[in-house]
Structure 1
Amino acid sequence: MRLFALCLVTTLAASPALSKCGGSFSAFVSGLKQEAQTAGVSATTVDSFFRGVSQDPKVLKADRAQGVFQKPFLDFSRRLISQNRIDRGQSMARKYDAVFDRIERDYGINRGVLLAFWAFETDYGAFQGNFNTLDALVTLAHDCRRPELFRPQIFAALELYEQGNFDPRTTTGAWAGEIGMVQMLPRDILDNGTDGDGDGQVSLKTSAPDALVSGGKMLSHLGWTPDQPWLQEVRIPTGLDLSQTGPAQKRSVSDWAQMGVTPRSGTWANQTLAASLLLPQGHKGPAFLAYPNFDVYFEWNQSFVYVLTAAYFATRLEGAPIYDAGTPDPGLSGAQMKQLQKKLQARGHDVGKVDGILGARTRVAVQKEQQRLGLPADAWPTTDLLGRL
């Protein structure tokens, strides 16, 4: 069962068709069919593909019930990372050692990175979702929250159907339309689906080698740089200029070192790379340097807390110690976070949707207000900040 936010794994070109959503569901499906035929797909194929498609209210319920992302990093990461998942990850690394060797050779993706996604997406293939994929995609495209993401995926699924690689009646997966062990959307399957086990088929639901190699290829296409790190836990000195922290601000590792930042264990991965200093729960909590490869995670998922947890788990699977949790100041409840976002909006800050989630734009706004008020500008909102606003 999926516990995380919607994956954003493609860049979609805008077109007038993408604005069509809402209204009668049957009329919406008719519009999809007409668009497919206009693009050159035969009426017989189109009718067969869309036959029996229906709106799934459970998909809409799942889309609106993602409260887990309101949890702070320490709570969220402890929920997703267990000793069992670590042990199984290490076991899978041994079992598919040759597959991971191939991925590392061909795409430069560390095995820990893919193992972490495999664990979080489907618990190493055990829970891939039982939502009808076509129903899910059409339901979400009809819903006017994010039609620009889901409508193109319907036509990608249609292309897979024409190739004989998608059954609109029996293909199932996550509520947001992802399929297989590492949960890929239809467009990504078209672009990156790879036969990893040599049987002549791309079977992302039943073949771990197929799923892993396909996932590695996708991360490579999203911009992953081989032989570079993605995340490293660090210690920060007292008196550090906290206004320089956050994912949007980057400086070389050597600069961070001159400012007194040190690796918590081991040595610097690469002092020439640009990196951001992340303080997910403020200056009293854990601290990480995020390297350029860390940004690729946001092409997979837009949730900061999910991305950081996945990146951290990947380092754990590759031998890093458990983070130093520190003693962060208590955070805000979901209701308090919404109240804070409204106050920030009233002060002219763009925080996006008022959803109770401490996302990137809310963090930036918090940091600016902390600077204005003379508080430690670590982007971690507290009741003190809320009260002062």
Structure 2
Amino acid sequence: MRLPLLLAVLALPGAALAQDVPCGGDFRDFIEGLREEAVSMGHDPAEVDRFLSGAEIDRKVLQRDRGQGIFQTPFIDFSRKLISQYRLDKGRELANRWDEVFDRIERDYGIARGVLLAFWAFETDYGAYQGDFNTLDALVTLAHDCRRPEIFRPQIFAALELYEHGDFDPDRTTGAWAGEIGMVQMLPRDILESGLDGDGDGHVLLKSSAPDALMSGAKMLSGLGWRPGEPWLQEVVLPEDLDLSLTGLETEMTVGEWEQLGVKGREGRLDDARLPASILLPQGKGGPAFIAYPNFRVYFEWNQSFVYVMTAAYFATRLEGAPVYEAGNPDPGLSGEQMMTLQKALQDRGYDVGGIDGILGAGTRAAVRDMQAKLGLPADGWPTQALLDRL
């Protein structure tokens, strides 16, 4: 099962921008508008016509766009579902098979191989399933749809450039429903900006060349702000008396300051005492605990789902040799319907929860933590029936 890369396309508040971006209306008029804009950008009219001639609306893309229920799944369940023994074994096998490529990535970008292997596993099951949606149709469909046209319309023109370079076939190039292509799932504009010819054949082929896909993914992560040679996530043990209101991405202290409060690595020492870091409790005080270093935040530039980011970052540590996390005994979470009821109650009290969608995102977590503190509950950011009852 593929999880959409760059889930920012599902989370960015683009309504204001969308007012200035053409969308909706008669589809043929919409395609003509794309053609005129492409020609005005300097593209050859005949090439533009050939590129757009077969574009169609794909209703299945719209269905997928509105059906993201998997991100309501709690971290423990989600991570156990995605991290299998097969993916661990296959990841280690591929790390050995492409050892030279990963060595280049580590040398040039300072990114550990486990990071890219985790994305490769989750996005396409190491390239086994890269999506069968026609990419141009997917992009055109989402650009025509007026939810986020400002995200997808530029991707059409980027795909046009790839077509002119001979690296995109409007009839045959396929990928994910949201327009991502290749083994690590990159949008056309990201391919233009970060695509690398990792195997030296003169082309950037992210669907068929592992070196191209891995090198391109590394360059993209580097461009998003990855700090070379630094960690990203580590499991920790917390002292009983830690003020839980300090947890969450909203609070950063140095590693040394966390150590002074009694935070310890579950396996081995914490990293450089000068690094800024946050303590994360994905399922509250009863579940696993992690310290998130600066590189963890880069994951949100790749994907906006907290549970996906936590799982991808944790899986990367497993591929680098970390043990299975201590799951603990977290309090039961809320159902999707209960979560929406909670979000509505928080929104009515003036909190910005990022939408009533049933998903425990960053805004909802921050609001929950603040409300827990006000009500005298453990302020761990994990919404429970007890909190809902109090509200």
Q: TM-score, with normalisation over the residues of structure 1?
A: 0.97
Residue among 92, 95, 98 paired with 2:94: 92
- Displacement of 1:3 in angstroms is 3.2
Amino acid at match of 1:181: M
**CA distance in 1: counterparts of 2:41 and 2:330, whole angstroms:** 55
**CA distance in 1: counterparts of 2:7 and 2:180, whole angstroms:** 8
Task: Provide the residue aligned with 1:366 in structure 2.
Answer: 368
**CA distance in 1: counterparts of 2:255 and 2:62, whole angstroms:** 44
Change in Cα spacing, 1:384 to 1:253, as seen in structure 2 (3 Å) is: same
C-alpha contact (below 8 Å) 2:5/2:185 kept by paired residues: no
Change in Cα spacing, 1:92 to 1:329, as seen in structure 2 (3 Å) is: same
**CA distance in 1: counterparts of 2:255 and 2:242, whole angstroms:** 15
Task: Provide the residue aligned with 2:219 in structure 1.
Answer: 217
Structure 1 unpaired stretches of 5+: none
Which deviates more from structure 2 when the two are superposed, residues 111-120 or residues 198-207?
A: 198-207
Deviations 1:95-116 (A, max 9, x none): 0001100110011110000000
Task: Provide the residue aligned with 2:42 in structure 1.
Answer: 40
Matching of residue 156 in structure 1 with residue 158 in structure 2: yes
C-alpha contact (below 8 Å) 2:7/2:302 kept by paired residues: yes
Task: Provide the residue aligned with 2:2 in structure 1.
Answer: 2
Amino acid at match of 2:3: L
Deviations 1:198-254 (A, max 9, x none): 222211101111110111111111110111000010011112111111012100001
Q: Aligned ranges for residues 53-132 of structure 1 at < 5 Å?
A: 53-132=55-134
Task: Provide the residue aligned with 1:332 in structure 2.
Answer: 334
Query: Percent identity of the aligned residues?
Result: 68
Runs of 4+ in 1 over 3 A off after TM superposition: 3-9, 13-18
Structure 2 unpaired stretches of 5+: none
- Displacement of 1:120 in angstroms is 0.2
C-alpha contact (below 8 Å) 2:5/2:180 kept by paired residues: no
Residue among 143, 146, 154 paired with 2:145: 143
**CA distance in 1: counterparts of 2:118 and 2:181, whole angstroms:** 17
Aligned residues: 388
C-alpha contact (below 8 Å) 1:251/1:274 kept by paired residues: yes
Q: CA RMSD in A?
A: 1.7
- Displacement of 1:17 in angstroms is 8.1
C-alpha contact (below 8 Å) 1:182/1:211 kept by paired residues: yes
- Displacement of 1:4 in angstroms is 4.5
**CA distance in 2: counterparts of 1:258 and 1:224, whole angstroms:** 27
Task: Provide the residue aligned with 1:31 in structure 2.
Answer: 33
**CA distance in 1: counterparts of 2:362 and 2:26, whole angstroms:** 35
Task: Provide the residue aligned with 1:378 in structure 2.
Answer: 380
C-alpha contact (below 8 Å) 2:109/2:228 kept by paired residues: yes
Amino acid at match of 1:29: I
C-alpha contact (below 8 Å) 2:131/2:175 kept by paired residues: yes
**CA distance in 2: counterparts of 1:264 and 1:114, whole angstroms:** 24
Q: TM-score, with normalisation over the residues of structure 2?
A: 0.96
**CA distance in 2: counterparts of 1:23 and 1:384, whole angstroms:** 47
Deviations 1:143-171 (A, max 9, x none): 12221211111111111111111111110
**CA distance in 2: counterparts of 1:225 and 1:342, whole angstroms:** 38
Task: Provide the residue aligned with 2:202 in structure 1.
Answer: 200
